[in-house]
Amino acid sequence: MKSNLTARLGLVLPIIQGPFGGGLSTVKLAATVTNAGGMGSYGAHLLEPEEIIQVTNAIRKETDGSFVMNLWVDSEDKRSKEADATAFEREVSKLEPIYRRNHVAPPVFAGCHSVDFERQAEAILQARPPVFSFVFGIPSQEILNQCRKLGIITMGAATTLDEALAIENAGVDILLATGFEAGGHRPSFLRSADDSLHGTLALVRQIVESVEIPVVAAGGIADAKGVAAALSLGASAVQVGTAFLACKESGAHPTHKRKLFDPSARHTRLSDRVTGRLARFIVTSTLEELEAGDLTHLGYPIQGELTRPFKTAEDGLFYAGQGAPLLRHHAAAELTRDLASLVTGDCCVGDR
């Protein structure tokens, strides 16, 4: 159970809740997971600097344990920067039949909201969360050095062995090895996401054998047997996303949570048509229509503005990992303990 990583983080259980952006993370979810013995996370990549400080302080009020604040190093595609209202409205017109079928209002162009990672990172340094994790790249040496001076533990996400080596060489403390089974975005940064698709099992073994820093396994892990398997591969802990997204404490829409327990969640697919970057979703008629149409790729995040209305529709667009058919829990504390039951010997059968 105990490893250098869990001891350093003060974790009772080697379970880390994956961070979710776009309102899917909540203070309650992060604090609940930490208080249950794991480590909660909050996806802050869309927050303004002052909001990052507020959320960090809010989580700290709810727990004395470790938690993660997560940012995207690269959060804007060139195509989105160049998109204008005319291009946006042209794509809206193509999607008009799908908006009508889903009974949702078409979006209005609001421009590309630029996120300043450097300012967000400054807020992280000011707020000083126990752990700062990042995806889609590596922060500058200046930021990493400041984290080290302030006692903020850093964790970087890799989808390939080359990315893992780059993260270790930068002096990052923890490495997150994320396989393509995971829900949400593929945070590749050295090569394109669709040229960086490695399964969790193969990726974790390669990385564990090649780096000296602790490795956290992620991707398709949704139950105790998956956790035990990842630890047997040499991971020091696991990060679980979809199973926590389905819990009552998450910020996911009730329709999204219900879909995660639906038989349709057995079929997921990677697509870049929804947000502009490759991510895994439950296959619905809406997703298939998006992929079959002649929609122009406007890049992240503008592409996501086109499809945002579908995120609460019954036949809409829902993030999910390949482990979704294994979901049983609706409460984050019980899920946290049950995920670790095979390595602690305790089986939690609480709120399922």
pLDDT in tens, 165-216: 999 999 999 999 999 999 999 999 999 999 999 999 999 999 999 999 999 9
Average pLDDT over residues 253-268: 98
3-state secondary structure of 209: coil
| CATH number of the structural domain 1-75+114-250+327-345 | 3.20.20.70
Token duo for residue 225: 């047997």
Model pLDDT, residue 110: 85
Residue 350 pLDDT grade (very low, low, confident, very high; cuts 50, 70, 90): very low
> Which residues have a Cβ under 8 Å from the Cβ of 76 and sit 6 or more positions away?
112, 114, 115, 300, 301
248 CB-side CA count, 13 A = 7
Instruction: Look at residues 246, 34, 67, 41 and name the one whose alpha carbon lies nearest to residue 135.
Output: 41
Residue 349 confidence (pLDDT) above 80: no
Cβ-proximal residues to 154 (8 Å cutoff; 6+ apart), any chain: 131, 132, 133, 134, 139, 144, 147, 148, 172, 173, 174
Q: Are strands 15-17 and 237-240 parallel, antiparallel or unpaired?
A: parallel
Q: Compute φ and ψ for 13, nearest 5 degrees.
A: -120, 145
Q: What are phi and psi of 137, to 5 degrees?
A: 135, -170
Average pLDDT, the chain: 95
Q: How far is Cα 304 from Cα 306, in angstroms, rounded to an integer?
A: 5
Helices 117-127 and 141-150, interaxial angle, to 10°?
10
* pLDDT of 132 higher than 50: yes
Q: Is the pLDDT of residue 134 over 80?
A: yes
Compute the distance between CA of residue 218 and CA of residue 244 in angstroms, rounded to an integer: 13
Q: Where in the chain is the domain with CATH 3.20.20.70?
A: 1-75+114-250+327-345
Longest Cα–Cα distance of the chain, Å, equals: 60
pLDDT given for residue 253 in this prediction: 97
pLDDT one-digit tens code per residue, 289-346: 999 999 999 999 999 999 999 999 999 999 999 999 999 999 999 999 999 999 986 5
pLDDT average, residue stretch 74-89: 92
Residue 345 pLDDT: 63
pLDDT band at 348 (very low <50, low <70, confident <90, very high): very low
